[in-house]
Amino acid sequence: MGIVGLVVLIVVVIYFIMIYNSLVNIKNNVAKAWSNIDILLKQRHDELPKLVDTCKNYMKHEQETLEKVTQARARVSEAREAHDVAALGAAEGALRVGLGNLFAVAEAYPELKANEHFLHLQARISGLENAIADRREFYNDSVNINNVRIAQFPDLIVARLLGFPAFDLLRFASSELKDVDISKRFAS
């Protein structure tokens, strides 16, 4: 009976270690996914002032649009630095709307549309927006895997014993989930 008990104990310990290592790997994937978003947000944060400055030279009377982009950029930066996933989702929505409005308003300025610097920045920011969307999807997938694993038996025992946290999904504002009214964007 002593040998059988020792074998069962060894199997349980090995299984516990395997679950622990798997949960550590998943938790680190969530952190890596957040870091990837953080890097792209920082790049966009650095590029946006250049775009706004370029637009300011042409769009003197469109100050409100430029201010909205600048304010949204600041809210994204604050949420990113605080690692506040909920605030980041809302700020991201406001920034995307502001950028869409900025690009739509820019259509009314032929000199700006033809400006090589503006075109480069517009392409760069559009590329960053696509990369951020991809990374957000990867982050939410990683969070979902983590949250499912720490809620499943027997992983939940290890997760609760060792304090593995659940993470929040990066959610989108309901306005971002609606269809975009293209004609409205170009009406300004």
- The pLDDT value recorded for residue 2 is 87
3-class SS of residue 99: helix
- The pLDDT value recorded for residue 33 is 92
Contact 150, 167 (CB under 8 A): no
End-to-end Cα spacing for the chain:
83
DSSP string, 100-153: HHHHHHHTT-HHHHH-HHHHHHHHHHHHHHHHHHHHHHHHHHHHHHHHHHTTST
Which sign, positive or negative, has the C-alpha torsion 58, 64, 70, 72?
A: negative
Contacts of residue 145, Cβ cutoff 8 Å, sequence gap at least 6: 26, 29
What structural domains and CATH numbers belong to the chain?
Answer: 16-185 (1.20.1440.20)
Q: What is the pLDDT along the chain (188 residues), one digit of tens a residue?
A: 689 889 999 999 999 999 999 999 999 999 999 998 888 888 888 888 887 777 776 666 677 777 888 888 888 888 888 888 878 888 888 888 888 878 877 777 777 766 777 778 788 888 888 888 889 899 999 999 999 999 999 999 999 999 999 998 887 665 554 444 444 444 44
Cα(4)–Cα(13) distance, rounded to whole angstroms?
Answer: 14
The answer, as to whether pTM is greater than 0.75, is no
